[in-house]
């Protein structure tokens, strides 16, 4: 088990390494980076030996906190050098369900133009949209309010970047489904449930606009009927 003193040292070394790295340097360097890069390679080999996707995710959930002090140090003192450890951990944190941490890392990576390792075969912003949307679509987070907040934060973080329409459509589908859950009227419609229903409709319509085959036609039709019926029978 890593001691608090060792964790502090790792965090400070990572911060110092990041601050000392010249902006624009292609690849990060330094003893602490080399240490965690070696750990990453070892952990990747361990994951490769696991055949079950579910067990891979469970293993990542155990592994990713071990990098937190390194991540904190780089985010605090980093100057934007290419960092395979940090970029890989951005995706692994999504896999582990640590969305806030992944987006925190993602914001740093995007701000500095840091790329994902070639094995991901996608640019960072597309991977963020894809991976977050896919994780939320399979129900990795149950609370609809939290689901919406994660999807919305991912969309806002990546808005200025060019990404495939199909990927972003999935994100709006997630937002629409979360808002639809929040719009459950119970016995009667209320101002709040109707607002959520309207926002859900807008999200689904945006998803369909981006990618017509996204699979939200029934949701759109149902919400249109619901809102039309209320308009004709208010109260």
- % the chain with pLDDT above 90: 78
3-state class (DSSP) for residue 69: helix
Identify whether residues 99 and 168 lie together within a single domain. Answer: no
Q: Would 13 be classed as within a structural domain?
A: yes
Is the confidence at residue 124, as pLDDT, over 80?
Answer: yes
What band does 24 get if pLDDT is binned at 50, 70 and 90?
A: very low
Let me know how many helices (H) and strands (E) the chain has, helices first: 11, 0
For the chain, the domain total comes to 2
CB 116 within 8 A of CB 108: no
Query: How many whole angstroms separate alpha carbon 204 and alpha carbon 210?
Result: 10
Identify whether residues 220 and 109 lie together within a single domain. Answer: no
Domain that holds residue 6: 1-121
Identify whether residues 98 and 151 lie together within a single domain. Answer: no
Is the confidence at residue 9, as pLDDT, over 70?
Answer: no
């Amino acid at each position: 088990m890593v001691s608090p003193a060792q964790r502090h040292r790792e965090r400070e070394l990572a911060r110092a390494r990041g601050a000392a790295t010249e902006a624009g340097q292609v690849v990060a360097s330094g003893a602490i980076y080399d240490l965690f890069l070696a750990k990453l390679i070892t952990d990747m080999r361990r994951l490769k030996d696991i055949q079950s996707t579910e067990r891979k995710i469970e293993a990542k959930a155990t592994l990713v906190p071990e990098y937190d002090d390194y991540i904190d140090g780089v985010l605090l003192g980093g100057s934007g050098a290419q960092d395979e450890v940090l970029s890989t951990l951005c995706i692994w944190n999504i896999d582990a369900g640590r969305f806030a941490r992944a987006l925190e890392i993602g914001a740093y990576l995007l701000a500095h133009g840091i790329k994902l390792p070639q094995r991901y075969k996608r640019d960072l912003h597309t991977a963020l949209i894809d991976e977050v949307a896919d994780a939320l679509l399979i129900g990795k987070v149950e609370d609809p309010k939290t689901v919406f907040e994660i999807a919305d934060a991912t969309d806002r973080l990546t808005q200025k970047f060019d990404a495939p329409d199909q990927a972003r459509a999935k994100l709006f589908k997630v937002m629409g489904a979360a808002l639809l859950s929040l719009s459950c009227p119970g016995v009667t419609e209320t101002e709040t449930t109707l607002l959520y229903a309207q926002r859900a409709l807008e999200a689904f319509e945006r998803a369909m606009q981006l990618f017509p085959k996204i699979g939200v036609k029934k949701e759109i039709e149902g919400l249109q009927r619901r809102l039309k019926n209320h308009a004709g029978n208010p109260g």
